[in-house]
Amino acid sequence: MNKKIRWIAETGVMLAALIALQAVTKPLGQLVTGSCVNAVLAISVLVVGLSSGVVVSLVSPVFAFLFNIAPNFVTVLPIMIGNVCFVTLLKLVIGKQHTSVWRRFLALGAASAVKFGILYLLVVEVICGSMADALLGQKIGTVVVLAPPMLKLLPTMFAWPQLITAFIGGSVALLISPILRKSLHR
């Protein structure tokens, strides 16, 4: 099979899995949905490759917003940035697929910590901190950019749960990706 067609098909499967998991797990809360999303992000990069991981990382927050999982559209860009850093660091530190288990989990820990740090900085410190006064009550069309309830909710959602869900989802991916790679003859 042509490499480009294979990449499109596999990335499409990852996107379909991501969208389905977001829709199905939404009622189960942030820890379950976030862990599932991070598992798909990590599987995308570990099985299909970095470009697939980046595509899935960029699409994920758009659907999270459309499904009302991401609480506000001002969080979409920070989530994109955090996701792309997560998959990129995961791929760069793990390197070849035949690295030791310890190196793989060290990479996961580093990638999870970086994603958490980026989301905390961008959402909690910048959006809810230094930019809160400028964004609070502002409208784009009929949509309020940042409402007072969001100012209280976002710091909770974009703190420690981001670290936990990235590590849980990544751990699942580290267990599943070797099986998927073997079944795909890689």
Q: Residue 18: which CATH number?
A: 1.10.1760.20
Q: Return all residues near 23 (Cβ < 8 A) that are at least 6 apart.
A: 67
Indicate the SS3 state at residue 144. strand
> 134 is in which domain, residue-wise?
3-183
Rounded Cα distance between 130 and 112, Å, is: 25
Residue 117 pLDDT > 90? yes
Q: Which residues are bridge partners to 144 per DSSP? A: 139
Average pLDDT, the chain: 90
What average pLDDT does this structure show over 57-70? 91
Rounded Cα distance between 33 and 25, Å, is: 5
The token pair at 25 is: 């797990």
The token pair at 43 is: 């599987």
pLDDT tens column, 119-140? 999 999 998 887 777 777 776 6
Rounded Cα distance between 62 and 55, Å, is: 12
Predicted TM-score (pTM) of the model is: 0.91
Structural domains counted in the chain: 1
Q: How confident is the model at residue 147 (pLDDT cuts 50, 70, 90)?
A: confident
pLDDT tens column, 98-108? 678 888 889 99
Q: What is the DSSP code (8-state) at residue 140? A: E
pLDDT tens column, 163-185? 999 999 999 999 999 899 889 87
Q: How confident is the model at residue 93 (pLDDT cuts 50, 70, 90)?
A: confident
Residue 145's pLDDT is 67
